[in-house]
A and B are shown apart, each in its own frame.
Chain A
């Protein structure tokens, strides 16, 4: 169970961006591959805890799950898998371990709110 340390890294990364741009973050958009080794549900439940007493407190984590896509050397094309238990082309059945997508663990965007200027 390493989702808490992953959640802390996400919060740190987003807080750094927010501080640099002087904005408030409402939500963090994350792309999570099915081969990233991170479980979405566990990550979501750790996120709130990781946000406590940071600039991200009260923000949401929005996870986009990325299925595995392999490159099929026979079709010479990127193909999805039927199941992660079988790394072979969904069209022609050729085995391939050339992974194109599915290892993603990246913050792709922040939903922000400009900080309102202080009333004079």
Chain B
């Protein structure tokens, strides 16, 4: 006679493999003294333009580099390479998000000690990247003024996986009747206390304030690490 079925407790995180790799990456980043910032957004919200501007301007004062995820093309890496910063493309094929192991293998032969800031541009997607820790210090969630102020209400999960919100394409705000008050209120509704910056990669508006914030966070991380 077959014994009765019974229940055994397991309690295991499904993403434990990704989380373990992310922890290893985080330790590696700390040890090298590099501050790591990842970017998530929907496709077309201006991640690459924002990152190109960031790399171009930050390069004057810091040692910066980027890895960028894309489903099929290397276009983003080519655009970012115009900033003269080291850039590496991760082509994910059909995968809709980056996982820690992909970042790890992209960085395999990089000497991270030579960097102050490393940027990781995720695949354009507001859903899937939220589940995967990449070992970053800071995760930026971008929304462009053309996407509508209610984006945060539609995607509360991604905003809750992020640390900072960036409103992009500010130069188009008046053309689309963008309401900063509504957008800000919606971001704070789904993620109370989230810092928000408004920028235009085209005109450079708002970039300075964002850089000051990055620099202060990087300083804090260094102090914490050495303490």
Contact = CB atoms under 8 A, between A and B. Distances in A.
A36 B190 CA distance: 15
A49 B99 CA distance: 22
A36 B160 CA distance: 10
Interface string A92-120: 00011101000101111111111010000
A111 B7 contact: yes
Interface residues of B, number: 35
Contacts of A5: 95
Interface in B174-220: 188-194
Contacts of A106: 11-14
A35 B157 contact: yes
Contact of A114 (B3, B95, B130, B153): B3
Nearest to B125: A2
A68 B16 CA distance: 21
Contacts, number: 108
A6 B131 CA distance: 10
A73 B51 CA distance: 36
B156 A35 contact: yes
Interface string A33-49: 01111100000000000
Contacts of A112: 5-8
A85 B153 contact: yes
B10 interface: yes
B2 interface: yes
Nearest to A10: B14
A21 B8 contact: yes
A112 B11 CA distance: 15
A78 to B, nearest CB: 16
Interface string A10-48: 100110010001010010011000111110000000000
If over half of B's interface residues share one DSSP class (helix, strand or loop), that class is named, otherwise mixed; here it is mixed
B17 interface: yes
B6 A13 contact: no
Contact of B193 (A34, A85, A86, A97): A97
Contact of B188 (A23, A95, A108, A113): A95
Nearest to B2: A116
B194 A108 contact: no
B5 to A, nearest CB: 5
Given A13-B12, A26-B5, A113-B3, A99 B160 contact: yes
Contact of A107 (B10, B17, B153, B161): B10
A19 to B, nearest CB: 13
Nearest to B99: A5
Nearest to A24: B5
Interface string A64-76: 0000000000000
Contacts of B158: 37
B26 interface: no
B15 interface: yes
Interface of A: 1-2, 5-6, 9-10, 13-14, 17, 21, 23, 26, 29-30, 34-38, 84-88, 95-97, 99, 103, 105-114, 116
